[in-house]
A and B are shown apart, each in its own frame.
Chain A
C-alpha cells in the first residue's frame, strides 16, 4: 500500500498538459485533432448516406441533429433560432466526440484541458454578444443590460451585476467542462491503481481486487453518461446565451 502515493502522483502528472517533444501539439491537443477528424468524417459520411426511410449512420446523425434542433434550439429560442443551429450543433457534437474519445483507455479527451474549454467558451461568448450587437447595435445592446423603470442607482447596480455575470460565463462554462472531464479521468485512474495494487499486493488482494474493479466499471459507465451530459450542458448553455442575445431588450 505504500506504493499508492507515487502512483497517484504519476497519474496526476500524466494528466497534466505536456508538450509533445518535436511536435506542436500537447498530449491533449493530439486527441483534439483526432476528434476533429472523427467528427468531420462521421458527419461528412453520414450526410451522404441519408435515406428517406431512416437507417444506419445517416439515421444516427439525423437523430442527433433532430435532438439539437427540436429539443434545444426550437424549444429554447423558437423558430428564430434556426440560423444558429449549425453553430450549436457543431459545439455539441465536437464536445461530445472529444468527451467520448477520451473514454478510450490510453486516450485523453480534448475537452479535458483548460486550453480547449476556455477557447470554446470564449467563442460562445463572442458569438452571442456579436448576435446581440448585430441586432441592437453596440450601444443598444449594452443599454439592454440597464433595467428600465427601476430606481436609477439600483438600476446601475443591477447593470453592473449583469455585466459581471456575463463576463463570468466563459469562465464557469470552461471550468465546468474541464473539471468534469479531468476529474472523471482522475477517478478512473485511481480505481485502476487500486485494482492493480490490490491484485499485486497479496493472495487476499486477488479476491478483494474485485471491489475496486467493480467500482471502476460503474465509474466508467457513469463517465459515459457524463460525456453526454456535459456536451448537453455546454450546448444548452450556448443556446440559452444566444437566446438571451436574440431576445435582448425585449423585457
Chain B
C-alpha cells in the first residue's frame, strides 16, 4: 500500500539480487567481454602497425625500382651514344679514305691525259711541220733548205706554242 516507504521484503530481494548479479557477472561474464575488447583493440593496433610497415616497405621497393629504372635508362642512352660515336668515326674514316682514293684516281687520270696530250702534241708538231714545209714549198715554188725549214718551223712553233700554252 505504501508508495514512498521501502518495503522490507523488497529490500532483501533487491539486495540479494544485486549481489548475485554482481558476483556472477564480475566473475563469469565481464572479464571475458573486457578481454575480448582488449584483444580486439590489440589486434587492430597490430594490424594497423603491420599495414604501415608494409606500406613503408612497398614505398622503399618502389623507390628502388625507380632508381634502377633511371640507371638502366641512363645506361641505354650511354650505349646508344657510344654506338653513334663509333658509327660516326667509321663514317668519317670511310669518307676520308674515299677522298684519298678519288684524289689518287684523279691525279692518275690527269697524268694520263697529260701524257696523251703531250704525245698528241708531238705527233701534231711533226705532221704540222711536214705539212707546212710542203705547203710553203709549193707556195714559194722553191725547195727550202734544211736550215730554212728548221728556222721556219721553229718560228711557227713558237707562235703556235704561245697560243696553245
**Which chain A residues have a beta carbon within 8 Å of chain B's beta carbons?**
16-19, 24-26, 28-29, 32-33, 36, 39-40, 43-44, 46-48, 50, 52, 54, 58, 61-62, 65-66, 69, 85-87, 89-91, 93-94, 110, 113-116, 118-120, 123, 182
The 4 residue pairs across chains A and B that have the minimum distance between CB atoms: A115-B10, A86-B26, A43-B29, A47-B29
- Bound together, the chains give a CA A15 to CA B2 distance in angstroms of 10
Segment at the interface with A among B32-40, B95-103, B115-123, B138-146: B32-40
What's the nearest-Cβ distance from chain B to residue A71, in Å? 13
- Bound together, the chains give a CA A39 to CA B32 distance in angstroms of 16
The answer to whether residues A16 and B3 also contact, given A29-B13, A89-B30 and a CB cut-off of 8 A, is yes
The answer to whether residues A29 and B36 also contact, given A86-B25, A114-B3, A114-B4 and a CB cut-off of 8 A, is no
- Bound together, the chains give a CA A33 to CA B12 distance in angstroms of 12
**Which chain B residues have a beta carbon within 8 Å of chain A's beta carbons?**
1-11, 13-15, 17-18, 20-22, 24-26, 28-30, 32-34, 36-37, 39-40, 43
**Closest residue to B35 on the A side, CB-wise?**
A50
- Bound together, the chains give a CA A235 to CA B10 distance in angstroms of 21
The answer to whether residues A65 and B37 also contact, given A46-B29, A86-B26, A89-B30 and a CB cut-off of 8 A, is yes
- Bound together, the chains give a CA A36 to CA B21 distance in angstroms of 7
Taking A26-B13, A113-B10, A116-B14 as known contacts, 14 extra A-B pairs with beta carbons closer than 8 A to each other, sorted by chain A number, are: A43-B29, A44-B29, A47-B28, A50-B36, A52-B39, A62-B37, A89-B30, A90-B22, A90-B30, A116-B10, A116-B13, A119-B14, A123-B18, A182-B3
Chain B residues, CB < 8 A from A66: 37
- Bound together, the chains give a CA A115 to CA B15 distance in angstroms of 10
Other-chain contact of B6, A18, A119, A123 (Cβ < 8 Å): A119
Q: List 29 A-B contacts (CB under 8 A).
A: A17-B7, A24-B9, A26-B7, A29-B9, A29-B10, A36-B21, A40-B25, A46-B33, A47-B30, A50-B32, A52-B39, A58-B36, A62-B36, A87-B22, A87-B26, A89-B30, A90-B25, A90-B30, A93-B25, A110-B17, A114-B3, A114-B6, A115-B6, A115-B14, A116-B13, A119-B11, A119-B15, A119-B18, A120-B18
**Closest residue to B40 on the A side, CB-wise?**
A52
Whether B37 lies near A86 (C-beta < 8 A) is no
- Bound together, the chains give a CA A105 to CA B5 distance in angstroms of 25
What's the nearest-Cβ distance from chain A to residue B25, in Å? 5
Chain A residues, CB < 8 A from B34: 65, 69, 85
- Bound together, the chains give a CA A201 to CA B19 distance in angstroms of 50
Whether B13 lies near A16 (C-beta < 8 A) is no
- Bound together, the chains give a CA A182 to CA B24 distance in angstroms of 29
Chain A residues, CB < 8 A from B39: 52
- Bound together, the chains give a CA A24 to CA B11 distance in angstroms of 12
Whether A47 lies near B33 (C-beta < 8 A) is yes
The answer to whether residues A61 and B33 also contact, given A118-B6, A119-B11 and a CB cut-off of 8 A, is yes
The answer to whether residues A17 and B1 also contact, given A89-B30, A90-B26 and a CB cut-off of 8 A, is yes
